[in-house]
């Protein structure tokens, strides 16, 4: 069995950052669940993805499969140019404007400044069931809908 990283990020709220009190209270709660759970905030947006590269991504307008090299370059450009501050893209298939986070992905992906993280490398007993049970508890403490991104190594 491989190593899994579980990252919880806000759903549909890329720039959400909990207040200092919310973050402190959440961290206290997380410590009661596992000493390996960590909540963090970054200045810039980060990309969180499942590690399945760029296969199977489709256009939200016409449904065409997105070329993996095009997607990789769009992500690299957005990160290099502005640390994901601008996710705007024009789809090569139908020339319609959208954003990187609005493409149809076959696996969980997201951009965020706030995240909660745990790895089975440090917590080998943590699994999908525990993540599913933890999700609503995190949501209640910060007042935001969250999603789970699982990356396997």
The confidence score (pLDDT) of residue 153 equals: 73
Rounded Cα distance between 65 and 62, Å, is 9
Name the pTM for this structure. 0.90
How far apart CA 15 and CA 133 sit, in angstroms, is 25
Sorted by sequence, the CB contacts under 8 Å of residue 137 that are 6+ apart come out as 29
How many CA atoms within 13 Å lie on the side-chain side of 4?
Answer: 14
Looking at per-residue pLDDT, the higher value among 59 and 152 belongs to 59
What domains appear along the chain, each with residue ranges and CATH number?
Answer: 1-52+107-153 (3.30.70), 55-103 (no CATH)
User: What pLDDT shows up at residue 78?
Assistant: 94
Find the mean pLDDT for residues 71-88.
93
Confidence class for position 51, pLDDT limits 50, 70, 90: confident
């Amino acid at each position: 069995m491989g190593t899994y990283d579980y990252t919880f990020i806000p759903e549909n709220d890329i720039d959400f950052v909990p207040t200092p009190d919310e973050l402190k209270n959440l961290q206290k709660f997380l410590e009661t669940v596992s000493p390996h759970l960590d909540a963090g905030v970054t200045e810039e947006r980060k990309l969180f993805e499942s590690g399945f590269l760029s296969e199977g991504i489709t256009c939200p307008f016409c449904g065409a499969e997105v070329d993996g090299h095009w997607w990789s370059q769009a992500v690299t450009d957005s990160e290099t140019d502005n640390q994901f501050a601008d996710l705007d893209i024009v789809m090569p298939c139908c020339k319609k404007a959208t954003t990187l986070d609005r493409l149809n992905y076959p696996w969980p992906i997201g951009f965020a400044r706030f995240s909660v993280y745990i790895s089975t490398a440090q917590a080998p007993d943590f699994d999908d069931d525990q993540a599913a049970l933890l999700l609503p508890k995190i949501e209640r403490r910060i007042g935001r809908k969250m999603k789970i991104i699982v990356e396997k190594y």
